[in-house]
Structure 1
Amino acid sequence: MLPEATARALRKGVLIPAHPLALDAEGNLDVRRQRALSRYYLDAGAGGLAVGVHTTQFGIRDAGLLEPVLRLAIETAREYERPMVMVAGVAGTTADAVAEARQASELGYDLAMVILRGLDELTDDQVVEHIAAIGEVMPVFGFYLQPAVGGRVLGFDFWARLAELPSLAAIKIAPFDRYRTLDVVRAVCESSRADEIALYTGNDDNILVDLATTYRFRVGGREVRKHIVGGLLGQNAVWTHRAVEMFERARSGEVSAELLTLAAQLTDANAAVFDVAGDFAGCVAGIHEVLRRQGLLENLRLLDPDEKLSPGQSEELDRVIAAYPQLIDDAFVAKNLDRWLTLEESCVG
């Protein structure tokens, strides 16, 4: 069960950045900068953190970094006296994912985001069983990850079955596809738990429109309305202070031509950050490069030495940063960076 304050925050909707991984020049966890990133997101107004997910790099498991990274983020979040929605990515076989969920629960995380990467051999029924087993340990954040970065296609029938799991508290919808997004929303609306499941956008290519849209479906002779109430996004791992402002604006209910223009500009900026031209090969590197330019990260080092910016991606970042100053929060970062980088040893033990 979620704590009541956390459940309220989740259902009302918050913005949750997908947390990157800070490494030093030798490839070790950079504790000071890892913690500074968490502080940046939470001071910028994020309502929680998602750790151990795609943006954190799946290789943290092989590198033995999952537990220290999870621990560091939640210890830093406890500096803040407000309800947080803390999400831990869990991956691998059912036994491995259940073990990761137990670890996250013991550390104090609220929800397990189930990563299905590498489980392509499972049928949809087996995937539901896999998620149900994780839900025996802690509440679940479902995850529709786009195939371009390791996800799989999951149809309406899958989401209809999953929505009936009592442990399913929320779904991150991230297929980068309007048709598949509608599959998830309609399945939840037609389920018996339509009012209990919070929907979050993970469509980094359509953030503001997702948040501003009211979905309406006829179910059993009555109209069911549903909103995507929050965002759990890799894009919001950068320029987070501005992202929170746009998040509140999109949810205000007032959809204007100006907001739609801003939505298109954010999509253009995301194309540079996520390396759409390179088929997303540089998506994590693009996030790191923005943070490096701001001084939050020291370098562009990733766990996989072959993972780097694609040719032309740096120039694309130059272009969108110059074109859309309204999306950029460099002044906010510069004002607070020294404080975020101050590390008390008592918080690392």
Structure 2
Amino acid sequence: MSVTQNLTETLAARLRGTVLPAVVTPMDARGVVDHGALRGYTERIAAGPVGGVAVWAHTGRGLYLSDADRDRVLAAWRAAVDGPVVAGAGVPRAVGPVGLRDAVDATVAMAVRAAEGGADAVMVYPLAQLDGDDGAAVALHERVAEASGLPVLGFFLHGGAGGYPYPPELVARLLALPSVAGVKLATLDRAMACQDAIDAAGARDGKLVVTGEDRMFGPSLMWGADSALVGIAAARVELTAAVLSAWRAGDHAGFVRASGRLDRFAKATFYAPIEGYVQRMMWAAVWEGLLPEEAAHDPYGPVLPEAERRAVVACLEGLSKDDDGPASS
């Protein structure tokens, strides 16, 4: 067995059955990262029921950060979390529009930087430049793994977030690579695409099928996902973990209750404009006491009306009242 394959199998075993929050990056209204707020946020998230964290992901605006900020964000989470740290790798926004070769080079460079910073695995953003070329997608994952020396997660990201939807045949090819630990699904609302991708994984020989389906979280577990890497856990770790734990324990009544509660929160945070979910998650993190108000800005998403914040808070208050009332006993 190669060293890479051994690392891949070890990572899959550590992540199976766990939740990895796709964490936000605390920023002010100008987009300046608040590293003081970040330290407090890492400590609070790390104290929860997490199997690790995902940094530089879409929720954390990883492609928008400077190299220096990415390095400091990774270092903060590496210091706080005992479990694996998975880092996103793609084309930084500063690079601008590029062709496929340059996009691959930029993705590989970001993956190498993640390895140098102590990441345990790389989640490869789906490149729009692939333009349906499955062979190029496979080659991209192979090159990232070889250059970084880290296990890789394929990332099936919906088009609304700038992703490239991998067909089932490509999912199967990626999972056949020794360096690929699993595939992360984020189809948003495409139930058939999610089911088809999970089916394409087949027996998958120890590989992970990681749900990123915030609006289809419970169903994706029922369809066969075995771990989670989700933006919704950037603010609601305990509730997200409760759904996964109940499902894996065969506690179907507990699963239905927890899944219904998570669905209520997802409905209040993941909807059009979908890019607004990052700001909504930051608002939730403020309410939860995870972030200070001044560090809860997403300058890269749409400007949202105050009514949306009130709806997020109302949902959280309602869930909290349920926790305190007879229905939670």
Output the TM-score relative to the length of structure 1.
0.79
Checking the alignment, whether the CA contact within 8 Å between 2:12 and 2:182 is kept in structure 1 is no
Distance 1:120 1:272, change over 3 A: farther
Report the Cα offset of residue 20 of structure 1. Answer: 0.6
Relative to 1, partners in 2 of residues 1:238 and 1:328: Cα closer, same or farther, differing over 3 Å?
A: farther
Residue in structure 1 matching 2:246, options 246, 249, 266: 249
**Could you say which residue in structure 2 is the equivalent of 1:272?**
268
Partners of 1:152 and 1:8 lie apart in 2 by 27
2:290 to 291, 296, 317: 296
8 Å Cα contact 1:209-1:250 kept in structure 2: no
> Which of the numbers 149, 164, 178 marks the counterpart of 2:191?
178
C-alpha displacement of 1:273: 1.7
Structure 1 moving runs of 4+ over 6 Å: 326-329
User: Which stretches in structure 2 are left out of the alignment for 5+ residues?
Assistant: 92-102, 325-329
1:76: how far off?
2.0
Q: CA deviation at 1:63?
A: 7.0
Q: Could you say what secondary structure the match of 1:119 adopts?
A: helix
Contact 1:242 1:327 in 2 (8 A): no
What is the SS of the residue equivalent to 2:170? helix
Aligned to 2:172: 160
Distance 1:68 1:181, change over 3 A: same
Distance of 2:289 and 2:242 partners within structure 1:
22
2:319 is equivalent to residue 324 of structure 1: yes
**RMSD, matched Cα:** 2.5
What is the rounded CA distance, in whole Å, between the counterparts of 2:108 and 2:267 in structure 1? 34
1:142 counterpart (154, 167, 174): 154
1:76 aligned onto 2:80: yes
Question: Whole-Å Cα distance in 1 between the matches of residues 174 and 323 of structure 2?
Answer: 38
Supply the distance in 2 between the matched residues of 1:164 and 1:60 (Cα, whole angstroms).
Answer: 31
Q: Which residue of structure 2 lines up, in the alignment, with residue 240 of structure 1?
A: 237
Match of 2:133 in 1: 123
Match of 1:91 in 2: 90
Work out the percentage of aligned pairs sharing the same amino acid: 24
Gaps (5+ residues) in structure 1? Answer: 216-226, 330-349
> How many residues end up aligned between the 2 structures?
303
Q: What amino acid does structure 2 have at the position aligned with 1:283?
A: Y
What is the alpha-carbon distance in structure 1 between the residues aligned to residue 120 and residue 177 of structure 2? 17
Work out the CA distance in 1 between the residues paired with 2:88 and 2:323: 28
CA pair 260-157 structure 1, distance change in 2 beyond 3 A: same
Q: Secondary structure at the match of 1:9?
A: helix
Matched to 2:246, the amino acid is: R
Deviations 1:274-310 (A, max 9, x none): 2x1x331311000111112233322232243x63334
Q: Give, as a single letter, the amino acid of the residue that structure 2 aligns with 1:289.
A: W
1:198 aligned partner: 208
